[in-house]
Structure 1
Amino acid sequence: MTRQGGARMAQPSTPRKAPRLSRDSIVNAALTFLDRDGWDALTINALATQLGTKGPSLYNHVHSLDDLRRTVRMRVVGDIIGMLTNVAEGRTRDDAVTAMASAYRSYAHHHPGRYSAFTRMPLGGDDPDFTEATRAAAEPVIAVLASYGLEGENAFYAALEFWSAMHGFVLLEMTGAMEGIDSDAVYSDMVMRLASGMERR
């Protein structure tokens, strides 16, 4: 406030600065949005509101909602591959399998929206890049299965079985089907049964 001619005058307010946007910052914001509000709630306008801007400003960095969702899915797949690779590093056989299974389940529970993005089919039909990326997500598991002596198609199908079991269990937990059950113990037992099956193969 200043005085002029005996009267107090308000200083002009500083205009609010528009957020600095980039493709990466928008995708990162979308990941946070997913975990809070879910996949179906993700729209350009809803995300723009979270970022404190208007929908059209996002189109300078993403072509469409489909483009944003596809990019988010690819980012999540990359994060999961990195996570599984890191936890399996220096481990083999049962030790590696249990570590990866625990990390996978933890990721799904801590990032439910991102996990939903990972398990969604590509929008608009076939997407070769996304299909290739999801197949690449099996590579850390296949590398571990090699320590059981599994190779080629046998290792790939075993990895699919492993993922199917983990994914099914996580979905049952997320839908409340595991309430009243010691799900930690059941999950651990399931993973060890899978590991012993790898041994017998």
Structure 2
Amino acid sequence: MPPRSESQPAGRTRGPARTARLSREAIVNAALTFLDREGWDALTINALATQLGTKGPSLYNHVDSLEDLRRTVRMRVIGDIIGMLNNVGEGRTRDDAVVSMASAYRSYAHHHPGRYSAFTRMPLGGDDPEYTAATRAAAEPVIDVLASYGLEGENGFFAALEFWSALHGFVLLEMTGVMDAVDTDAVFTDMVLRLAAGMERR
């Protein structure tokens, strides 16, 4: 057995744990977790690097800038929301689909407040064609359901936008505590059914 090095204390055979190997995927995943805990405005390269147990410059080997990271995070969130809406809407039509999608959307916002904030940070139209296309794609699952009410084409898109506006407004009021004294579950269900009834009449 070789003698222990004088610089190595007794009972210690390994040095401190190393930081997990960084990659773009690992950084984006960490950013998503960071968002839900700290919020959108707190997301910076240095703050995220601290969470990852490294220094800010190390992240620049995998992301070009803070804006690059934030854009990538937004695109990931949009993809997650599209997948969620497609899953809950599969095999459903009309009121059944609308209520299920609305409930899933509300649940996502409450369970992932930071990610939800990222989802609503940029306009539907803008200087980023890929992002614009992605945000419009997020409406497609709802538009598909609205087609079962006979709303198609431009009418379907605007109806989906109206539907989203109602859900977003409700979620924000809940998250800011404005409706703490109200049975929000009952109000939410009633609102969604009223929206569905309006689609039926249109």
TM-score bracket, normalised by the shorter chain, equals: over 0.9
Deviations 1:98-124 (A, max 9, x none): 0000000000000000000000027xx
Partner of 2:201: 200
Partner of 2:23: 22
Question: 1:17: how far off?
Answer: 1.6
Task: Tell whether 2:166 aligns with 1:165.
Answer: yes
Partner Cα separation in structure 1 for residue 117 and residue 12 of structure 2:
49
Deviations 1:132-180 (A, max 9, x none): 1111100000000111111101111100000000000000111111110
Distance (Å, rounded) in 2 between the aligned partners of 1:115 and 1:90: 26
- Computed over aligned residues only, the root mean square deviation of the Cα atoms, in angstroms, reads 1.8
Counterpart of 2:36 in structure 1 is 35
What is the aligned partner in structure 1 of residue 132 from structure 2? 131
User: Is the 1:76–1:117 contact (alpha carbons within 8 Å) kept by the matching residues of 2?
Assistant: yes
Q: Give the deviation of 1:15 after TM superposition.
A: 4.0
Q: Which runs of 5+ in 1 are unaligned?
A: none
- Structure 1 runs of 4+ off > 4 angstroms? 8-13
Q: Which piece of structure 1 moves more, 11-20 or 134-143?
A: 11-20
TM-score (norm 2): 0.92
Across the two proteins, how many residue pairs are aligned to each other?
Answer: 195
In structure 1, C-alpha distance between the alignment counterparts of 2:127 and 2:183, rounded to whole Å: 39
Q: Kindly indicate whether the alpha-carbon contact (under 8 Å) linking 1:76 and 1:118 is maintained by their aligned counterparts in 2.
A: yes
Normalised by the size of structure 1, how large is the TM-score? 0.92
SS in 2 for 1:87: helix
In percent, how many aligned pairs have the same letter?
Answer: 80
Structure 2 unaligned regions, length at least 5? none
Residue number in structure 2 paired with 1:183: 184
Contact kept? 2:19, 2:52, Cα under 8 Å:
no
